């Protein structure tokens, strides 16, 4: 970031001076803007006397000096959170608009950010929405392709964003594809992940990314198999998947033929007679389990371990873990890949985050009882990876008797439902998480209930700021659970 310099250093320190020039780097120069804004505010320079230069090596106005460093600005939290979401916008006026907002706020309009009818605030909100939409498009429509002949194996992708979002979007792909090396090339810059560190480099070219790889045929087959002709809506498809992204997405090659065949496929679906489900009847399975009548948690666990999974594929049943008589019991959804391998609950990425949040909330995981509503891992196999698949209501009902008996033996004071599946298992009905988060009556249970989100939800949030806020809210929930249990 280049220094902020007034054309006439002495006069420009006040409102009656000349023009001040702020030179920033190309793209989203957040640190440069913050430093410039601090110095300009400290020098009492009004917005109309500031010229924002982007990517220029020298001032067009012949700046003759530099402003000293200035202390941080004490802005309302809402303003501080808005600024990083606007800086990536491609509008060259973004810095001037943001500085005007800051100037008005420090001059007394502390609640300006919340005045939606103000033209400046309204425009900034539209810009923020545009950046978020562009981030969403990049997360949804970027496709990696295997680079041939590389060692170790590497993948590359080409994307043309509307705004300067590469640095903001890259952490999402690090979390999603942490285990393999990749590069994202754009006309503005590039991002490179080597499985250990993220680096940013110069612009790339479309021809540096492979045109296709062997994986794309499988992906195209999957897209065709999930395409529902009865819900064909061309306007909605164009709105959600703009044509500018089509040439980088392998599944789009199948769209014209799918559209042409939609009418015939819809007629065939309507006329096809219904088929009876091939899965076992959950009610009969629950009745059979009830006849077993275990007298202790150990006996119940023997029955669980001996039982076949309702949906085949799991390596083993994953039992609850923790002391009987624990004051707090946590109920999750179902085991994940690592839980299935190790035979223990909450040991994968979500479980590690859960343990960290418990420690931060002042809870000892070893003192709590941790289990899942469903005892076997349900997944879809994609290549060599086992991708978690959400259990159905029937599958939750199948395992519900086990969960009730398990909690009868543990006898906790409070049971925490982590996510919607756990709530369904404990309450016997679907309950909205957001509206009922906190203490909750599961209906006739011998313990107090509490609802919060599942830790895996926090891992899926793409925005780092939203993820941090959601994590703090989760920790607060755990603190409250500890207080209620005490």
Report CA 231 to chain centroid distance, whole Å: 27
Q: Is 131 exposed, middle or buried (0-12, 13-18, 19+ CB in 10 A)?
A: buried
Which uninterrupted H or E stretch holds 158? Answer: strand 154-158
Q: Is the pLDDT assigned to residue 58 strictly greater than 80?
A: no
What are the tens digits of pLDDT across the range 253-304? 656 666 666 666 555 554 554 444 445 555 555 555 555 678 899 999 999 9
What are the tens digits of pLDDT across the range 159-175? 999 999 999 999 999 99
Mean pLDDT of 15-29: 82
Model pLDDT, residue 85: 95
Q: State the pLDDT confidence band at 398, using cuts at 50, 70 and 90.
A: confident
What are the tens digits of pLDDT across the range 418-428? 999 999 999 99
The closest alpha carbon to 407, from 305, 327, 309, 316, belongs to 327
Q: Which residues pair with 182 in a beta bridge?
A: 155, 193
Q: State the pLDDT confidence band at 57, using cuts at 50, 70 and 90.
A: very low
Total H helices, total E strands in the chain: 18, 15
What are the tens digits of pLDDT across the range 233-242? 666 655 666 6
Place of tokens 């065949």: 261
pTM over 0.75: no
Model pLDDT, residue 287: 56
**Higher pLDDT pick, 188 / 286:** 188
HEC letters along 111-129:
CHHHCCCCHHHHHHHHHHH
Residue 413 · residue 327 · CB < 8 Å: yes
b or e along 92-123 (b: 16 or more beta carbons within 10 Å of the residue's beta carbon)?
eebbbbbbbbbbbbeeeeeebbeeeebeebeb
**What percent of the chain clears pLDDT 70, i.e. is strictly above it?**
77
Model pLDDT, residue 272: 52
Q: Is the pLDDT assigned to residue 4 strictly greater than 50?
A: no
Find all residues with CB under 8 Å of 230, minimum gap 6, and list them.
266, 269
Report the C-alpha gap between 280 and 252 in whole angstroms: 38
Whether omega before 35 lies within 30 degrees of 0, making that bond cis, reads no
Report the C-alpha gap between 4 and 6 in whole angstroms: 7
Q: Please, what is the average pLDDT of the chain?
A: 83
Residue 450 · residue 416 · CB < 8 Å: yes
Range with the poorest average pLDDT among 105-109, 190-194, 223-227, 442-446:
223-227
Model pLDDT, residue 302: 92
Q: State the pLDDT confidence band at 56, using cuts at 50, 70 and 90.
A: low
Q: Is the pLDDT assigned to residue 381 strictly greater than 60?
A: yes
Encoded tokens for 367: 């003192």
Report the C-alpha gap between 109 and 93 in whole angstroms: 21
């Amino acid at each position: 970031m280049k220094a902020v310099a007034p054309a006439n250093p002495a006069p420009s320190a006040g409102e009656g001076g000349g023009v001040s020039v702020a030179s920033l780097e190309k793209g989203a120069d957040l640190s440069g803007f913050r430093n410039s804004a601090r110095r300009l505010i400290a020098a009492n320079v009004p917005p109309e006397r500031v010229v924002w230069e982007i990517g220029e090596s020298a001032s067009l106005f012949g700046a003759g000096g530099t402003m000293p460093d200035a202390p941080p600005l004490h802005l309302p939290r809402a303003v501080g959170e808005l600024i990083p979401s606007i800086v990536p916008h491609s509008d060259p006026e973004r810095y001037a608009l943001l500085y005007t907002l800051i100037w008005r706020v420090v001059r007394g309009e502390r609640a300006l950010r919340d005045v939606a009818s103000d033209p400046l605030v309204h425009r900034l909100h539209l810009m923020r929405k545009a950046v978020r939409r562009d981030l969403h498009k990049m997360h949804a429509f970027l496709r990696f392709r295997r680079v041939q002949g590389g060692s170790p194996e590497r993948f590359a992708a080409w994307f043309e964003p509307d705004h300067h979002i590469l640095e903001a979007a890259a952490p999402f792909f690090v979390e999603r594809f942490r285990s393999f090396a990749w590069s994202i090339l754009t006309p503005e810059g590039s991002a490179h992940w080597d499985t250990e560190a993220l680096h940013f480099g110069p612009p790339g070219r479309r021809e540096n990314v492979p045109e296709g790889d062997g994986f794309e045929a499988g992906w195209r087959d999957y897209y065709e198999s999930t395409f529902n002709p009865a819900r064909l809506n061309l306007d909605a498809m164009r709105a959600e998947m703009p044509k500018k992204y089509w040439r980088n997405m392998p599944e789009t090659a199948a769209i014209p033929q799918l559209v042409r065949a939609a009418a015939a496929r819809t007629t065939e679906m309507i006329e096809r007679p219904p088929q009876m489900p091939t899965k076992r009847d959950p009610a009969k399975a629950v009745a059979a389990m009830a006849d077993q009548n275990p007298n202790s948690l150990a006996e119940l666990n023997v029955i669980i371990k001996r039982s076949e999974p309702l949906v085949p594929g799991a390596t083993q049943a994953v039992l609850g873990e923790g002391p009987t008589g624990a004051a707090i019991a946590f109920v999750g959804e179902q085991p994940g890949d690592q839980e299935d391998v190790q035979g223990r609950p909450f040991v994968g990425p979500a479980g590690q985050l859960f343990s960290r949040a418990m420690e931060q909330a002042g809870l000892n995981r070893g003192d709590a009882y941790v289990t899942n509503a469903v005892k076997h891992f349900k997944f879809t196999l994609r290549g060599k990876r086992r991708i978690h698949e959400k259990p159905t209501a029937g599958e939750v009902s199948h395992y519900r008797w086990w969960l009730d008996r398990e909690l009868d033996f543990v006898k906790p004071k409070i049971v925490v439902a982590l996510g919607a599946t756990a709530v369904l298992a404990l309450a016997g009905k679907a309950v909205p998480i957001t509206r009922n988060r906190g203490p909750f009556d599961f209906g006739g249970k011998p313990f107090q209930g509490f609802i919060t989100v599942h830790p895996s939800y926090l891992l899926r949030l793409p925005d780092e700021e939203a993820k941090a806020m959601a994590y703090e809210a989760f920790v607060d929930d755990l603190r409250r659970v500890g207080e209620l249990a005490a």
